[in-house]
Amino acid sequence: MTLTLHILLWVLACVVAAPLLVLSIQCFLGLLPASQRAGSNQSPPSLAVLVPAHNEQSIIIATLDSLKRALPDNGRIIVIADNCTDNTASVCKDHDVTVIERHDTKNRGKGFALAAGLASLESDQPGTPGASGTPGAPGAPGVVIIVDADCTITPSTLTDLAQAAQHTRRPVQGVYLLHPPDTRDTKAVVSAFAFMIKNQARPRGMDLLNFPIPLTGSGMAFPYELIKNANLATGNIVEDLALGLELAEQGHGPILCDAARITGALPSADDAAVTQRTRWEHGYLATLITRAPGLLLKGIIKLRPSLVAAAIDLAVPPLSLLVMAAIATLGLTSVIGWWFNLPGPALLSAASLALAALALILAWARFARASLPISAALAIPGYILWKMPIYTKFLTGREKTWVRTDRDITTPESTTPAPPTDMGSPGQVKSGGGAGHK
């Protein structure tokens, strides 16, 4: 009996310690200088920026202004106004960008909207009318960049992304961060910290080892020849994550462009935040369960370390869930270990949790000390409790369909635009607006 219990405790401790160790290694490596790749001196290729948008009239102006400031002379902006019931399309046309209006309420999800945008590029042949409806269409671009309708970017981001994609011929992900609308909202600060770990610290570590990183939804760049045949028209609620894994399996693992910065804001309303996190985390957990074992097996059988690394990275659960599991495991192994004099599993649990805590603290000091106050750490227990119903719901009735995150109604000058949403589909499409050249 004692031997069986000892084995079970060791298995439990190892199962939880493994992702903690992976997270720690990624964060420690992420503290090192980012990978530098050649190609920054090349002229940027022609590019098309796709902006999927669903009822974004209140915030998309800031996004378009940001994009146009960064757009090179050989670039264009295409907004896919997807199933909109507001003035998103007319607002965008007033800003001299190409607008595709799409109406198909059955096929909903960001992937469908992006498929419609790509289809418009496919129809753009030099010298013939294209998706913009103007004679002499510019033809298919060299690089396609995807930016959500609620984000702003730094002035060099589009050029940095395009040059990296052109030089490496691989998908490129910029550093996409969300910020709390108010640093006094400690729950939002903790959420922004978790987002930074997922989208900046850990990908830097993976990229340093030349392993594929996850696509995070906004600030993604693709060589046109690579993305034009991608299967985007799906209702997957984490379509960016799925796309990155598919490309990695095809031998085109995404890389990080650390110089590119894409910024959004977390929603301030609790119900909107719950909706957003539920969609993201349910989609991630479902992908972890269904894709990680197959990726790992394929990587081992075909001797492809990149796929093994992608599977291991995917197998690290969301930070809150991982911390919950680690604390529960530490408590369980400590109590049972003390009772039966089996201290080993508890020591492993304690050591792995302490190592991860050190890695997270150093990542905060390296990347977020100026923007995220350390005092918010006191809110971590409450934040974890707030997340528990989300994980419970995954077991009882997980989110499987697109649900739009409600927006905070703000003026573009008053705050950073809010976080990413998914939108709808390539069904009935009509085009309008200017060509979107700078």
Per-domain boundaries in the chain: 2-30+317-372, 47-314+414-433
Paired residues of 98 in beta bridges: 78, 433
pLDDT, residue 22, reads: 98
Q: Are 235 and 402 in contact (CB under 8 A)?
A: yes
3-state secondary structure of 258: strand
For domain 47-314+414-433, give the CATH number: 3.90.550.10
| Long-range pairs, 327-335, Cβ under 8 A, ≥24 | 327/353, 329/12, 329/13, 329/16, 332/12, 333/9, 333/12, 333/13
Q: Are 80 and 52 in contact (CB under 8 A)?
A: yes
pLDDT, residue 125, reads: 56
**DSSP string of 418-432, one letter each residue:** ------B-SSEEEEE
Kindly state the tokens that stand for 104: 């198909």
| Long-range pairs, 9-15, Cβ under 8 A, ≥24 | 9/333, 9/336, 9/337, 9/342, 9/344, 9/345, 10/344, 10/345, 10/348, 12/329, 12/332, 12/333, 12/345, 13/329, 13/333, 13/344, 13/345, 13/346, 13/348, 13/349, 13/352, 14/348
Cβ neighbours for 130, distance < 8 A, ≥ 6 positions apart: 120, 123, 124, 137, 138, 139
Q: Are 179 and 416 in contact (CB under 8 A)?
A: yes
Amino acid at 32: L
pLDDT, residue 416, reads: 39
- Which helix (H) or strand (E) segment is 290 a member of? helix 270-301
- Give the residue from 273, 227, 259 showing the smallest Cα distance to 153: 259
Amino acid at 20: L
What pTM value is reported for the model?
A: 0.86
3-state helix, strand, coil in the chain (%, to 5): 50, 15, 35
Kindly state the tokens that stand for 381: 């227990």
Cα–Cα distance, 200 to 184 (Å, whole number): 23
Paired residues of 186 in beta bridges: none
Q: Which residue has the tokens 């959004």?
A: 264
338 burial via Cβ count (<10 Å: 0-12, 13-18, 19+): exposed
- Can you give the pLDDT of all 438 residues of the chain as single tens digits? 688 998 999 999 999 999 999 999 999 999 999 887 766 667 889 999 999 999 999 899 999 999 999 999 999 999 999 999 999 999 999 998 999 999 998 887 788 999 999 999 987 655 444 444 444 456 789 999 999 999 999 999 999 999 999 999 999 999 999 988 887 888 889 999 999 999 999 999 999 999 999 999 999 999 999 999 888 877 677 889 999 999 999 999 999 999 999 999 887 666 777 777 888 898 899 999 999 999 999 999 999 999 999 999 999 999 999 999 999 999 999 999 999 999 999 999 999 999 999 999 999 999 999 888 888 888 888 888 888 888 888 888 776 655 555 555 443 333 333 333 344 334 455 555 443 333
